[in-house]
Structures are given as C-alpha cells and as structure tokens.
C-alpha cells in the first residue's frame, strides 16, 4: 500500500476560479498562468482546468512545447521571453508568443528568421525593478520591435509590485500605472497589466486600470496574493494535501516530542503522527500552532516537522486514531492560512509539493 499522503487537484474549482476572474474583469482576455508546473498542480491539469482561458502563460520554454504536444492550440506566452537566441526557433516552430523585456531579446528577434508572424508582449519596468525596459526607453524599444517584419501584434505589459496592498507606502499600483501610461504615451496596442492582485482590485482601480489581457495566477488556484481570505472573493481551493494518522502517543506533562525536543507537554496529551514531512514539501519551519484538520476538526502542529512525518495535537479530537483523515491544506483549510502561520505564502506551499506525493483528481464537492 502506498503512503496515505496525496495531493488532490480539484479541476472543478479551477474552472470556477477562472469564472471568478472573468466576473472581476469583464471584457478582458485571460492568460491562465501555469508556470512552475501550474503552481504545483501539474501542467497537464493546468491545461485542462483552464481550458476556458484565452491563453496559457508560463516561464518554461520546455513547458510551452509540452503544452503544444498535449494538444493546446490556443495562444501561449513566455512571461520572461526567450533565454537564448536558439529559443526563437521554438517560438516559430510551436507558435509561441514571447515577452520582450530587454534590448538583448530585441536583438535576438531581429536576427532570427521566422516562417510566420509572431506576437510579443513588450514589458516596461514601472518600479518593480526586476524585468522590463525603462519608461523613458520604452518608445524606442517599441520602434525597434515594430521594424521587425515578422512581429505582428505588440501588447504593452507591466507587472505590479504591490497589487495586494492598494495603499502601499512605497509603491502603489496607481503610481505604476501612471508611469506606464507616461512611458506608453502615443503607442497603440493591447495592454496587459494585472496579476491576481490587480484583478481582485479591479473594482477599486476601474478608473486607472484598463486591461485587454490579465495574467492571474494564484487566484486561479484558490489563493490570494495577501490580505483578504480567498473565500471572500468566492475563490475555491484547487489542491487538497491530505494524509492520515499513522501513529498515536499518549504523553504526560514534561514529555517532549520530536527532534530537538522542542515541544514539551504542560499536561497529559494525545499526539498523532501524520505521514507528511518536509521531504513532501511541507515547510520544516512551520511552527507549533500551524493549523491542521484531523477528521474535520481543527487542531495544531506540535514539535518539529521531520522529513517524512509531523506531529499534531489530538487531545481535543474525539475518536482520533490510526487511520484518521488529516488535511494539511485545501478543502476546509485555506492554504493561505497555513502559509501565514508558517511565515510564507500559499504560492510557495503549492509549488513545493514534492514529486513523491501522489497526485489525484477529484471534484471539490465530492472530496472527503
Ligand atoms: C507569475 C506571474 C503572474 C501571476 O501572478 P499571481 O500573483 O500569481 O497572479 C503574472 N504576470 C507575470 C509576469 C508573472 O510572472
């Protein structure tokens, strides 16, 4: 029998969350972001879950090729563009759209030979200071791209640093949009600005934010980039990491649990051992108190997470025993809440699910 640990992907929730994106941004076309193995859900499942998206966007060139081989015929976008000149042949062969974020990439496109037209997203750095052309050099970059015969449509793109916090003290979405509009002044073309944070705040930003394309990732997977719980936006979990209790220990006051004996019982307790550890992608730094569900009852992690196991408090969970069902995150326990307790973000938890974890599929409704 395999270990009782599994990650169940809810394709129905992926479809539902895509519909939420459309409800937030009526009229905009949607890139379903499926980088990092569809945020840990599996690229092929990302393709099926977001079959209704207008295109799929990712970072990995080999992932884009695989999506074509899996039968995706819609638009594909490389969010960081090509990494070397040879990649331009893949753009041509597999009809992949590319972001262009620096003059080096423009030069690669100038020197490439294309057998068909190619669409690109020209990226502006409006304050994130990661990728993108500076606003004052944007028009010139655009002209160079425009002069390449094979380049058909040029979408104008930027990325927000703080879309989850509208009144961010250092750099607001509004300020980034202002810089974007200045840099793109007089340049025609579709615009692609919003990640999940932008989509979720579309209502408040209606005056500033006009998107022809949006690029949501985390909200499609039932998480939020920060702040409000996903359920408040009507988003549903798309991944349930679940396991079972494989051992029980009754301990007395003064007993300690696990490596480093970091947790000491103040009173008699029942400890449950869960088949899931850091080698499965569960964060080792998750502290005492991180929420866990056992037989649907909320309890907490105690002691250190080890490689293959973790220990939880069963004292208040009536009837818990070997074989009891455990949810680490997902149905009934938002991934963002677990991430928050562990000092990280839901993105990292879902992306980190290890290859040894069995991946299953089930509707959220029928799960558990
Ligand atoms: C990852 C990524 C997104 C999606 O971001 P979320 O916060 O997950 O919505 C959008 N655009 C670009 C360029 C990205 O790299």
Rounded distance, CA 295 to CA 302, Å?
A: 17
Nearest-CA residue for ligand 1 atom 6 is 217
Strands 55-58 and 29-33 turn out to be: parallel
Q: Which residue of 101, 158, 180, 217 sits with most ligand 1 atoms within 8 Å of its CB, as the best mutation to test the pocket?
A: 217
Ligand 1 atom closest to 163 (CA): 7
- Tell me if 307 is assigned to a ligand binding site: yes
pLDDT at 368: 52
Ligand 1 is surrounded, with C-beta below 6 A, by 33, 35, 79, 159, 195-196, 215-218, 225
Strands 213-214 and 97-100 turn out to be: unpaired
Domain-wise residue ranges, the chain = 11-224, 239-361
Please, is 366 exposed, middle or buried when counting C-beta atoms within 10 Å of its C-beta (0-12, 13-18, 19+)? exposed
Confidence of residue 243 (pLDDT cuts 50, 70, 90): very high
How many angstroms separate the alpha carbon of residue 195 from the centre of ligand 1? 5
**Model-level pTM?**
0.97
Q: Give the CATH class of 239-361.
A: mainly beta
pLDDT at 126: 98
Residues designated as active site: 35, 259
Q: What is the CATH number of domain 11-224?
A: 3.20.20.10
**113-141: per-residue pLDDT in tens?**
999 999 999 999 999 999 999 999 999 99
Q: Inform me whether the pLDDT recorded for 196 exceeds 60.
A: yes
Straight-line distance from the first to the last Cα atom of the chain, in angstroms, rounded to the nearest whole number? 19
């Amino acid at each position: 029998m395999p270990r009782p640990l599994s990650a169940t992907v809810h394709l129905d929730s992926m479809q539902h969350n895509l519909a939420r994106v459309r409800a937030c941004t009526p009229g905009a076309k949607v890139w379903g972001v499926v980088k990092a193995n569809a945020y840990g859900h599996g690229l092929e499942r990302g393709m099926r879950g977001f079959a209704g998206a207008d295109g799929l966007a990712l970072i990995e060139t080999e992932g884009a090729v695989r999506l074509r081989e899996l039968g995706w015929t819609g638009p594909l976008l490389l969010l960081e563009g090509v990494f070397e000149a040879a990649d331009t042949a893949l753009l041509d062969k597999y009809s992949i759209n590319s972001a262009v974020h620096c003059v080096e990439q423009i030069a690669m496109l100038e020197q490439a030979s294309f057998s068909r037209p190619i669409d690109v997203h020209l990226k502006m750095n409006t304050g994130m200071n990661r990728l993108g052309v500076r606003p004052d050099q944007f028009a010139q970059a655009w002209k160079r791209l425009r002069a390449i015969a094979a380049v058909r449509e040029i979408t104008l793109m930027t990325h927000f640093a703080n879309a989850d916090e509208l009144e961010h003290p250092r750099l607001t979405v509004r300020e980034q949009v202002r810089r974007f509009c200045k840099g793109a002044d007089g340049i025609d073309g579709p615009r692609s600005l919003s990640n999940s944070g932008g989509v979720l705040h579309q209502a408040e930003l209606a005056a500033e934010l006009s998107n022809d394309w949006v690029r949501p990732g985390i909200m499609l997977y039932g998480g939020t980039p920060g702040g409000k719980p996903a359920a408040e936006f009507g988003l549903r979990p798309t991944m349930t990491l679940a396991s079972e209790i494989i051992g029980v220990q009754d301990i007395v006051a003064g007993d300690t649990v696990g490596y480093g004996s970091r947790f000491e019982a103040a009173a008699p307790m029942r400890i449950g051992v869960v088949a899931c550890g850091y080698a499965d992608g569960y964060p080792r730094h998750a502290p005492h108190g991180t929420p866990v569900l056992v037989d649907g009852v909320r309890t907490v992690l105690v002691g250190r997470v080890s490689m293959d196991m973790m220990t939880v408090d069963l004292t208040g969970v009536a009837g818990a025993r070997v074989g009891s069902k455990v949810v680490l995150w997902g149905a009934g326990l938002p991934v963002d809440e677990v991430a928050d307790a562990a000092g990280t973000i839901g993105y990292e938890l879902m992306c980190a699910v290890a290859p040894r974890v069995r991946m299953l599929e089930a509707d959220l409704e029928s799960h558990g």
